[in-house]
Amino acid sequence: MLREHLMGRGLRNLSVLKAMRDVPRHLFVPEAMRNLAYEDCPLPIGFGQSISQPFIVACMSILLDLRPGMKVLEVGTGSGYQAAILASMGARVYSIERIPELHKAAAERFRRMGTESAAINLFLGDGTFGLPDYAPFDRILVTAGGPDIPEPLVMQMADPGIMVIPVGNERNRQRIVRVFYQNGKYSARASRSVSFVELLGEHGWHTDRTHPTF
């Protein structure tokens, strides 16, 4: 995966490559698909959701420009793989998921793996509100695509801070947007096109066509 799909496509960020080498992706995919764990494709994790493609996980992690010790909010825990990558890079991760079954499965997975609870804190709820009790965050990573940048997340950025979020006005087509906050001023830059599952919630898309829980 590292040689062919990441370095082979020009990715050179050593701390991201090291994390992608060290975190066993096969432990985050359903058992029946473990033979595909190191292919460069998203895989279904149930409830209409997916674990993202390794190349995209690496790109998002690079765009965060992370340093050890930083406090990171992830919206969309899913399998927990991206959270594990960020923790492996030395971040203190706060990750929120809206689907109870995925939240529970990720918590159980980290428990079995012996992941330190100080490194990854998992929450259940609508992540478009962020986690105001734990803000501000040095970095915010949203791993689902919404129609806009949720205002509560903008308010929870540290100064200086960076947010990486897929945004698009079609439900399954977005551009990755990087929001910078420095000296009290915001700026934003869009980069590659991506296709993430929907960011559902108060400050995301409003109707859930796949899961009735929230």
Q: Is the distance from CB of 91 to CB of 72 less than 8 angstroms?
A: yes
Give bridge partners of residue 93 from the DSSP assignment: 72, 120
Binding footprint of ligand SAM on the chain (CB under 6 A):
49-52, 75-76, 78-79, 81-82, 96-99, 102, 126-128, 143-144, 196-197, 199-201, 204
Q: Is residue 50 among the annotated active site residues?
A: no
Residue 68 beta carbon to ligand SAM: minimum distance, rounded to whole angstroms: 20
Residue 69 beta carbon to ligand SAM: minimum distance, rounded to whole angstroms: 21
Q: Which is nearer to ligand SAM, 11 or 106 (CB)?
A: 106
Q: Which is nearer to ligand SAM, 117 or 172 (CB)?
A: 172
Q: Are strands 173-182 and 185-194 parallel, antiparallel or unpaired?
A: antiparallel
Q: Residue 37 in 3-state DSSP?
A: coil
- Of residues 107, 51, 114, 39, the one with CA closest to residue 78: 51
Residue 106 beta carbon to ligand SAM: minimum distance, rounded to whole angstroms: 8
Count the Cβ atoms, other than its own, within 10 Å of residue 103: 20
Q: Which is nearer to ligand SAM, 13 or 49 (CB)?
A: 49
Single-letter amino acid code for the residue at 186: Y
Single-letter amino acid code for the residue at 125: G
Give bridge partners of residue 161 from the DSSP assignment: 181
Which of 50, 52, 61, 79 is labelled catalytic? 52
Q: Which is nearer to ligand SAM, 13 or 52 (CB)?
A: 52
Round to whole Å and give the CA distance between 73 and 135.
9
- Of residues 66, 68, 84, the one with CA closest to residue 24: 84
Residue 209 beta carbon to ligand SAM: minimum distance, rounded to whole angstroms: 12
Residues designated catalytic: 52
